[in-house]
Amino acid sequence: MLADIDDIGSLSIWIVFGLICALVANGRGRNPVGWFFIGTLLACFGLILLLVLPDLKMQEQKERQRELETRRLREQLLKERQVADQRHGNVERRLGAHDQALGLDTAAAPALGNGAGAVPPQLPNQSQWFYARGKERLGPVSAETIRHLLQAGAIQRQTLVWSEGMPDWIALDATTEFRGDSA
């Protein structure tokens, strides 16, 4: 009879471990029925094993947060690309209008080796000129560009110009360099 009580006590302890494992397993995103049997068979070792294994609910929550963050970042990147494309289009339109006003085609000019721009650098021996359009002072540009602007009608012979070494701004037709150029 005493042996029966010991057997019932042992069985009840195993069942208690099974129930504890089932409850803990349910809270950690694992199958409670399977862990009930594991807890019943392994008792304390089953509970330790369950606690050592990763929490599936926590992993699932982290994965959802990661997916939401990824989606948010993709949407932000898409918006930034749209804004950048719009700005690029605005810059292209403005450059096109500027080129048209100057009578130039900088889009067809060869790009520099580093892609810094389409306007070639001034050579050291070339003089650099500034010219006036209304109250705006533009430049520096090469003498060749001034001639091109004059031929295209973007500037007139009365346009004020200045270059280093000149005391003041003077009309284009008053300079020795552009006096013989035709409009």
pLDDT tens for residues 32-73? 999 999 988 888 898 899 899 999 889 999 999 999 999 998
Is pLDDT above 50 for 181? yes
> Which residues partner with 162 through β-bridges?
130
> Which residues partner with 136 through β-bridges?
133
Is pLDDT above 80 for 87? yes
Is pLDDT above 70 for 79? yes
d(CA 95, CA 106): 9
Q: What is the pLDDT of residue 61?
A: 92
If pLDDT is split at 50, 70 and 90, which confidence band does 14 have?
A: confident
Q: What is the pLDDT of residue 112?
A: 42
> Which residues partner with 131 through β-bridges?
138, 161
Residue that wins the pLDDT comparison between 67 and 180: 67
The pLDDT tens digits for 109-160 are: 444 444 444 444 545 556 799 999 888 889 899 999 999 998 888 899 999 9
d(CA 80, CA 75): 9
The b-or-e profile of 139-148 (16+ CB within 10 A means b, else e) is eebbbebbbb
Q: What is the pLDDT of residue 113?
A: 43
Tokens coding 175: 């300079």
Q: What is the pLDDT of residue 116?
A: 44
Rounded to two decimals, the pTM is 0.40
Q: Which CA distances in Å does 103 have to 68, 89, 126, 144, 149?
A: 52, 20, 21, 13, 6
Is pLDDT above 80 for 105? no
Residue that wins the pLDDT comparison between 2 and 80: 80
Q: What is the pLDDT of residue 23?
A: 93
